[in-house]
Chains A and B, each alone.
Chain A
């Protein structure tokens, strides 16, 4: 069963717990600069959007890599960096449209979300449920149901 991380920004409270546990899990430190996920805040009007690598099927980072260090892991549905091949040119950081690829200046390497090997830590710690790890086949069904709720109530109201 292939899963994906799905973000519901309306539920995000901006607490940045995800950033902290990501850096603790991956680097053994608390440091958002070394986290693979970031909560982008639009503080003037209160919108918080967790942003993370989208594990693209046809990833620009993989296409751009001059040494073919980035490839697709079909089992977990993720795009992974082979650090044995990576030369640290950071072309992938430039081409990613989401800012999903970052550069860790302390660890001296490019960093991106790898779904914690199939058990994402950020998902475990997000109590509001803004970040969830769901079966791709069913991922959009919940959204569709939530979006249809109001309309279904309207229909019930006007039932003959």
Chain B
């Protein structure tokens, strides 16, 4: 049945594997996916562990509903202590790896130690073995997948692997499956690299039992229609996340030249509509009807003729607006390169833009860059920088250490130009005019985060009654809610609500685009219980799902507190407060975050969570959520 998938404890040093059942109690408390992973991280990763050392634990999981009739029930969650931030490291990827892992009989992998030689793990219908990966070193993730399929003579094997960036321990290396399904943030690929683990290959032909098959097919059809037949569902089907640029850059919500501007004028060539000249179709993750990534061929330059997938909104920033480049071909090429080398698009883009500003200000020179002229709008240099970072050449070696370490190495006041939270860079969104988005990135457990708490619907100017209907369910809320995204009132609750929503969806293994992220009309707490019941026969009320999300989120917070993170880390860099926006539409021009109002938002945000004003989790909240005896080592 859907609940009989196992947890495997894998020790790469000892070369041992231990398989256990997952107690029903754990499902009731944490559902699965990121929820159970949060528990495992807190219980298995010792305080002060070296993220690149053998005692760091790498967790890989498929959510509770992965591989079943939900919608985009495809997601794999990866977690460890982050080599980039030293805080919770967590990342989520689509594609087909998660479902295959469940058909192979496993929901959770707990990987410790370090392999003596390059290794890959082979999971095949209930069996797990260690295999030699020396022939795979140096290969890009899609090449690894192909090589493993050839070696094991099965075209249906799914592989999650790292590229050379992960092998070189670039601190923001990704894990990837397929051509572009990346677990991108917080350096999960780096952890794999540090364990000498090049890849995990999986193949399964087992059942995932569905408790009520006829009823769930009927329910699922309506569930899916409720997502596909929304304005944003249809937009995603056509353009993917790239449509966001049309909204944000037109308004003035895009970080340009590393915070020096908030809009890139005359950038028609970066708009999503350009994909039509390059695309030959779209692709979807497992069981997804939004199929939000394009299949395209690069047309110009060194990589002309290359087939790649995407690109995401992040690439329009990383290889476009952030660095003042205006070439769609560059966006397409940059996207291909980061997926090929196995790098976080976002981190790469942000660090390149930071390096460009440092070069502009004379803090770094040609000597540091190996002769490359880091000048805004220079497409060739931007693309070359990606390779330099992956291979740790010249300034690439410094940038490969991540924002804080790189700034420490460069010195000369370079740190004050960084745009980061807790040592992880920020998406190319400019949050100065949008307090809710600013609060969200400041408080993310894995650092600056636009995916784990972003109330994107705050940008839609929805009427207050509509907002209230969404945000006072399943737990009551009668505080203020404001339609204006420039307002501060009510935003802390929106951020908190979205955290719970995204945590729940990460526990279920469903894609965030299928909940109340980009569309306010998508399913959420009201619709999930029936789905869970029809598939697993487990009963949860919407309030119970909320509580599970809270419990798991608090474990992430407890992990960070244990590692020494405090309220002062739930912060924005000074530039957010000191430099008002120079560009954009009248309604966002001249905006900066108000320090006093931000402090008040943070106080309110902590209060909603049941934390004290220092951001510490008091006993009262621990007891309410059943976390008093953590770590409890039950799994």
Across-interface contacts of A29 in B (CB, < 8 A): 207-210, 213
Contact of B217 among A21, A32, A45, A46 (CB under 8 A): A21
* B442 CB within 8 Å of chain A: no
User: How far does the alpha carbon of A13 sit from the alpha carbon of B289 in the complex, in Å?
Assistant: 9
Across-interface contacts of A153 in B (CB, < 8 A): none
* A13 x B291 contact (CB < 8 A): yes
B-contact bits for A24-40, CB 8 A (1 contact / 0 none): 11011111111000000
* A13 x B282 contact (CB < 8 A): yes
Across-interface contacts of A32 in B (CB, < 8 A): 103
Across-interface contacts of B208 in A (CB, < 8 A): 29-31
User: How far does the alpha carbon of A50 sit from the alpha carbon of B318 in the complex, in Å?
Assistant: 36
User: How far does the alpha carbon of A31 sit from the alpha carbon of B67 in the complex, in Å?
Assistant: 8
Residue on A nearest B308 in the bound complex, by CB: A46
* B21 CB within 8 Å of chain A: no
User: How far does the alpha carbon of A48 sit from the alpha carbon of B280 in the complex, in Å?
Assistant: 12
A14 and B283 contact, Cβ closer than 8 Å, known pairs A31-B205, A31-B206: yes
* B287 x A17 contact (CB < 8 A): yes
* A30 x B286 contact (CB < 8 A): no
Residue on B nearest A29 in the bound complex, by CB: B207
* B96 x A30 contact (CB < 8 A): no
Interface residues of A in 24-75 (CB under 8 A from B): 24-25, 27-34, 41, 43-46, 48
User: How far does the alpha carbon of A128 sit from the alpha carbon of B96 in the complex, in Å?
Assistant: 19
Output the least CB separation between A84 and chain B (Å). Answer: 24
* B216 x A24 contact (CB < 8 A): yes
* B146 CB within 8 Å of chain A: yes
Output the least CB separation between B584 and chain A (Å). Answer: 36
* A16 x B96 contact (CB < 8 A): yes
Interface majority SS (helix, strand, loop, mixed), chain B = mixed
* A46 x B69 contact (CB < 8 A): no
Interface majority SS (helix, strand, loop, mixed), chain A = mixed
* A105 CB within 8 Å of chain B: yes
* B424 CB within 8 Å of chain A: no
* A25 x B213 contact (CB < 8 A): yes
Number of A-B contacts (CB under 8 A): 96
Contact of A24 among B99, B213, B224, B282 (CB under 8 A): B213
* B388 CB within 8 Å of chain A: no
* A20 x B67 contact (CB < 8 A): yes
Across-interface contacts of A121 in B (CB, < 8 A): 217
Output the least CB separation between A131 and chain B (Å). Answer: 13
* B207 x A30 contact (CB < 8 A): yes
User: How far does the alpha carbon of A41 sit from the alpha carbon of B283 in the complex, in Å?
Assistant: 11
* B281 CB within 8 Å of chain A: yes
User: How far does the alpha carbon of A13 sit from the alpha carbon of B209 in the complex, in Å?
Assistant: 26
* B68 CB within 8 Å of chain A: yes
Interface size of B by CB at 8 A reads 40
Across-interface contacts of B220 in A (CB, < 8 A): 21, 125
Output the least CB separation between A130 and chain B (Å). Answer: 10
Residue on A nearest B225 in the bound complex, by CB: A127
* A128 x B287 contact (CB < 8 A): no
User: How far does the alpha carbon of A27 sit from the alpha carbon of B208 in the complex, in Å?
Assistant: 11
User: How far does the alpha carbon of A44 sit from the alpha carbon of B178 in the complex, in Å?
Assistant: 10
* A151 CB within 8 Å of chain B: no
* A17 x B289 contact (CB < 8 A): yes
* B69 x A15 contact (CB < 8 A): no
* B224 x A28 contact (CB < 8 A): no
User: How far does the alpha carbon of A14 sit from the alpha carbon of B216 in the complex, in Å?
Assistant: 22
Across-interface contacts of A13 in B (CB, < 8 A): 281-284, 288, 291
A15 and B286 contact, Cβ closer than 8 Å, known pairs A30-B69, A31-B205: yes
* A127 x B287 contact (CB < 8 A): no
A127 and B205 contact, Cβ closer than 8 Å, known pairs A31-B103, A46-B280: no
* B284 x A15 contact (CB < 8 A): yes
* B289 x A15 contact (CB < 8 A): yes
Across-interface contacts of A125 in B (CB, < 8 A): 220-221, 224
A-contact bits for B220-234, CB 8 A (1 contact / 0 none): 110010001000000
* B281 x A15 contact (CB < 8 A): no
* A127 x B179 contact (CB < 8 A): no
Output the least CB separation between B138 and chain A (Å). Answer: 19
A24 and B69 contact, Cβ closer than 8 Å, known pairs A10-B281, A13-B283, A46-B295: yes
Across-interface contacts of B205 in A (CB, < 8 A): 31, 33, 105
Across-interface contacts of A17 in B (CB, < 8 A): 286-289
Output the least CB separation between A42 and chain B (Å). Answer: 10
- The CB with the most chain B CB atoms within 10 A, among A43, A106, A124, is that of A43
* B68 x A30 contact (CB < 8 A): yes
* B307 CB within 8 Å of chain A: yes
Across-interface contacts of A45 in B (CB, < 8 A): 307
* B192 CB within 8 Å of chain A: no
Residue on B nearest A23 in the bound complex, by CB: B207
Contact of B67 among A11, A30, A43, A106 (CB under 8 A): A30
* B210 x A24 contact (CB < 8 A): yes
Output the least CB separation between A157 and chain B (Å). Answer: 21
User: How far does the alpha carbon of A62 sit from the alpha carbon of B230 in the complex, in Å?
Assistant: 46
Residue on B nearest A126 in the bound complex, by CB: B289
User: How far does the alpha carbon of A20 sit from the alpha carbon of B69 in the complex, in Å?
Assistant: 7
* A21 x B284 contact (CB < 8 A): no
Across-interface contacts of B209 in A (CB, < 8 A): 28-29
* B213 x A46 contact (CB < 8 A): no
* B3 CB within 8 Å of chain A: no
User: How far does the alpha carbon of A17 sit from the alpha carbon of B70 in the complex, in Å?
Assistant: 10
* B285 CB within 8 Å of chain A: yes
Across-interface contacts of B213 in A (CB, < 8 A): 24-25, 28-29
Output the least CB separation between B282 and chain A (Å). Answer: 6
Across-interface contacts of B99 in A (CB, < 8 A): 30
Residue on A nearest B292 in the bound complex, by CB: A13
* A14 x B284 contact (CB < 8 A): yes
Output the least CB separation between A21 and chain B (Å). Answer: 6
Output the least CB separation between B290 and chain A (Å). Answer: 9
Across-interface contacts of A48 in B (CB, < 8 A): 283
Across-interface contacts of A124 in B (CB, < 8 A): 221
* B283 x A46 contact (CB < 8 A): yes
Output the least CB separation between B234 and chain A (Å). Answer: 10
* B281 x A20 contact (CB < 8 A): no
Across-interface contacts of A41 in B (CB, < 8 A): 155
Output the least CB separation between A149 and chain B (Å). Answer: 17
- Name B's A-contacting residues (CB within 8 A): 67-69, 96, 99, 103, 142, 145-146, 155, 178-179, 205-210, 213-214, 216-217, 220-221, 224, 228, 280-289, 291, 295, 307, 309
Further pairs besides A24-B216, A44-B146, A105-B205: 12, Cβ < 8 Å: A15-B291, A17-B286, A17-B288, A20-B287, A24-B210, A30-B208, A31-B207, A31-B208, A33-B205, A34-B207, A125-B224, A127-B224
24 examples of A-B residue contacts, CB within 8 angstroms: A10-B281, A11-B281, A13-B282, A13-B288, A15-B283, A15-B284, A15-B289, A16-B286, A20-B69, A20-B287, A21-B69, A24-B213, A24-B216, A29-B207, A29-B208, A30-B67, A31-B206, A31-B208, A41-B155, A43-B142, A45-B307, A106-B207, A124-B221, A127-B289
Pick the 8 closest A-B CB pairs, nearest first: A15-B284, A13-B291, A29-B207, A33-B205, A13-B284, A127-B289, A46-B295, A30-B208
